[in-house]
Structure 1
Amino acid sequence: MARPVTNAAFEGLLLAAGYGNAHAAFARQLNHAGRNEGVWRYDAASVYWWLRGRRPGEHVQAAMAETLARKLDRPVAVTELGFGAVESMATCVYPGSVDGAIDTAEQIWTRLAKHLHPQASGTFDSGKALQAALGWRYDLPDEMISRSGRQLVTLTDVQSLYVLADHFTDLDRRHGSGSPHTRALMADFLVRQVTVMLRGTYTEAVGQDLMRSAATLCGQLAFMSYDAGDHATAQQHVTIAMRLAKAANDRLYGAHLLANLATQAVHLGHSRDAARLAEAAIDGAGRAPAAVLARLHATAAAAYGQSRERRSCQLALAKAERALDRAGAVPSPRWVTYFSPAHLAGAALRCLGDLQLYSQALDHSTDALTLASENTRTRALHTALVAVTHARAGDTDAACEWGRTLAQHSSAIRSARVQQRVRELAATLSPQQASPQVNEVLHSLAAMPTAV
């Protein structure tokens, strides 16, 4: 059964212009009107989805208005098309086509580049996250992604994007992503440079690498938004990054992105949905390198630990440990090299603590803090987790000692996730605030900077 039309304004214009039963003809005229933007492949199915709520990019809307104006013999304003403002648009839907992914990427990058108030964007949507997982896992591969547009894109151009992604990743790990200006700067680059490249001229091979690099940048921006507490924007970006990874035929990076979505769901307390997302990532990764599997199973363990499913949690944790033991034997993708024994120890510390197995959890505390120097934010997260675990185990002295360490060494980090861990520690210690040492630690934690 066809879905009901939700954009009556656009439907009315199509009818008035004689395209009511000729959606394919309208799409052909639209492709012709947008020929300077590259090779568009919109068809009757594209029109179907536009009528039912999907919002095309600003440049596509301009071409729509131009096409309809010629048929109606009058000016047509973009505002007449009924798509509304970008700010009111829900863009967590997994796009069905590469063109749809590029259009939506341009929208959300433009939105982030222009607006510096992240909390206005909405909340995380578990239902759309699961739909995105299904689309990524089961949609057919794209038949062709090569394109002919204004700008020629080469492999050298694409390699420069990976260098930029590495730069932003390093900044994120060292300082956190609390400042919206850093994310706005990155989004502005994506709008001005990457969107132009995605609409350029490239072969199939270059196109796949371009899609992969764009997915890497979009995925990094998603993680930065998640760290800043802007959860709707993070979900929007990781959803588009998954679709770009699908276009690149890179199932491993797609699985990594899906695990990031699961990690975000755990952070927000959606443990059952997080477990489903993590298992979908493991299933989609298939016969992956051991380091990738270690990261994916660690994510599943965190989800199961939060939902108090002890057996599943411990099984996933054991699988992650065995996989990480094998990781040095085979090459791994560059984006998973960050996942070290310390990261796995942090995951074990968290999920075993969630299971109230505090002694077992604290056995991992030393390893969780054996981190490379650039992992400043992870060190803060793990330090806070050690303090919280001691507090929940009833060792107030140790909790206060780690709390003081956290306050002293994490003052330069801007991260909503670190702040949440600080609040967890303060809430756990606050019943004993009559104690002078607890009161001192609570005041030190309260003085720590906010994310923005």
Structure 2
Amino acid sequence: MEPSRRGVLTAGLYSVALAIPGWTDLTDRFERIAIDPHSRIGFTEVEAVKAMTEKISDLDDQFGGKATRPMSATFLVNTVVPYLKADGPDEVKRAMLSAAADHLYLTGYMAMDERADRLAQDYYVQALEMAGAAGDHLTYCTTLRGMSVQAVDLGHGDLALRLADAASAASPQAGPRMLAFLAGQQAHAAAKSGDRSTALLKIKQAESAMEKAESQAKAFGSYDPSSLSYHIAQVRYELGDKEAAIAHLEESDRSRESVYRRTRVRYNALLAERKLEVGRLEEACGDWNRVLDDYPMVKSGRCDDRIREMFALLVRYQDNGHARDLIERARTLVPAGVLTT
């Protein structure tokens, strides 16, 4: 269950040659876990794993993967793995496999946020295998989509699109919010890979699905209009419309739930970068100052990346008072180690 030490040692080495296990192959490939006859679980233990995963996910949104993944990994090793080895009714064991798959996906997401990208891949692949063994299509599709997010974030557009398409193809009878969740990522990946027609088609599908989803009961923490606005912004940027990208990033910020501090840091930093590209320096400095309001509370490799980019971009603007004040403020808030890595 725990990624190998070799995986930990090579955590930063993302693999674009990753083999993606297909849904129909997983149950045949999965090695049954040896059962400990002296330990037994019921649905109470399953619910405990689900509750802990949700709680850690909430903390991750606020404080970042560097702060929360150690907690998640410890719970995985000390609690989830022993539960997986315990005896119990078949329906309980399947439910535990599903809960474990979701926890593995979350832990992989945290590793990606740390910028331990190879380690994240290890967790993601294990989440796929666990979801297949549990018959859990939702976690399987969500994990593939998470892998696509990682790939596009690292600039691998073609792989990101393949992963996003695989997630969409494996999703059975998806409701409108899930359709928007999957199509939005397909659109971003297609735009990143240079496939303009597919990107525009998928973003239109995502918008239509979101409109239907918002007319129904909304599940807190799920894919929402703020997330869709971010995807539209990314598509518009990749297709060359920088001003539209800025407008949609601003809309994403206006509609975002306040609990998503890490997302706020990353996306507002991206907004500042986009504004600087089109010559809106003073506005960019304002957005970066908002980033610095939140950044000290977030421990995230991806957020650190955006801070390093901010310093790199502002070097040529140090004669400007807004830029100079921002740089001076940032130097009092950003750990020295962030700027030397």
Normalised to the residue count of structure 2, the TM-score between the two structures is 0.89
Corresponding position: 1:434 with 2:319: yes
Equivalent AA in structure 2 for residue 149 of structure 1: D
> CA shift at 1:366, angstroms?
3.3
> CA shift at 1:245, angstroms?
0.7
**1:153 aligned residue:** 41
Change (3 A) 1:187 1:386: same
> CA shift at 1:201, angstroms?
0.9
Q: How does 1:31-430 map to 2 (within 5 A)?
A: 105-108=1-4, 111=5, 120-128=10-18, 131-132=19-20, 135-139=21-25, 141=27, 148-150=35-37, 151-179=39-67, 182-328=68-214, 337-369=221-253, 370-430=255-315
Distance in 2 between the 1:154 and 1:140 partners?
25
Distance in 1 between the 2:69 and 2:185 partners?
25
Higher relative contact order, chain-length normalized (CA < 8 Å, sep 6+): 2
Equivalent AA in structure 1 for residue 205 of structure 2: K
**Gap regions ≥5 residues in structure 2:** none
Change (3 A) 1:387 1:224: same
CA contact (8 A) 1:258 1:278 kept: yes
**1:18 aligned residue:** none
CA contact (8 A) 1:146 1:202 kept: no
**Gap regions ≥5 residues in structure 1:** 1-104
Distance in 1 between the 2:2 and 2:98 partners?
16
- Which range moves more in the overlay, 158-167 or 308-317? 308-317
Percent of residue pairs bearing the same amino acid type: 25
Change (3 A) 1:286 1:431: farther
Distance in 1 between the 2:85 and 2:135 partners?
19
Distance in 2 between the 1:107 and 1:401 partners?
42
- Which range moves more in the overlay, 213-222 or 367-376? 367-376
**1:23 aligned residue:** none
Change (3 A) 1:411 1:184: closer
CA contact (8 A) 2:177 2:223 kept: yes
CA contact (8 A) 1:289 1:331 kept: no
Distance in 2 between the 1:193 and 1:390 partners?
46
> CA shift at 1:380, angstroms?
1.3
> CA shift at 1:379, angstroms?
1.3
Distance in 1 between the 2:58 and 2:221 partners?
13
CA contact (8 A) 1:391 1:429 kept: no
Distance in 1 between the 2:3 and 2:195 partners?
40
CA contact (8 A) 1:175 1:376 kept: yes
Distance in 1 between the 2:287 and 2:97 partners?
43
> CA shift at 1:426, angstroms?
3.6
Equivalent AA in structure 1 for residue 296 of structure 2: S
CA contact (8 A) 1:211 1:248 kept: yes
Distance in 2 between the 1:232 and 1:140 partners?
21
Point out the structure with the larger helix share.
2
1:114-163 per-position Cα deviation (integer Å, ceiling 9, x unaligned): x9xx67534111211xx12xx23341645997975321111111110000
CA contact (8 A) 1:147 1:201 kept: no
Change (3 A) 1:432 1:265: same
**1:72 aligned residue:** none
Equivalent AA in structure 2 for residue 376 of structure 1: R
**1:49 aligned residue:** none
Equivalent AA in structure 2 for residue 127 of structure 1: A
1:13-58 per-position Cα deviation (integer Å, ceiling 9, x unaligned): xxxxxxxxxxxxxxxxxxxxxxxxxxxxxxxxxxxxxxxxxxxxxx
CA contact (8 A) 1:349 1:385 kept: no
> CA shift at 1:383, angstroms?
1.0
CA contact (8 A) 1:173 1:378 kept: yes
> CA shift at 1:354, angstroms?
2.7
**SS in structure 1 opposite 2:36?**
coil
Distance in 1 between the 2:250 and 2:199 partners?
21
CA contact (8 A) 2:261 2:294 kept: no
> CA shift at 1:249, angstroms?
0.7
> CA shift at 1:331, angstroms?
7.1
- Which range moves more in the overlay, 305-314 or 383-392? 305-314
Distance in 2 between the 1:438 and 1:308 partners?
34
> CA shift at 1:210, angstroms?
0.6
- Which range moves more in the overlay, 272-281 or 440-449? 440-449
> CA shift at 1:261, angstroms?
0.5
**SS in structure 2 opposite 1:404?**
helix
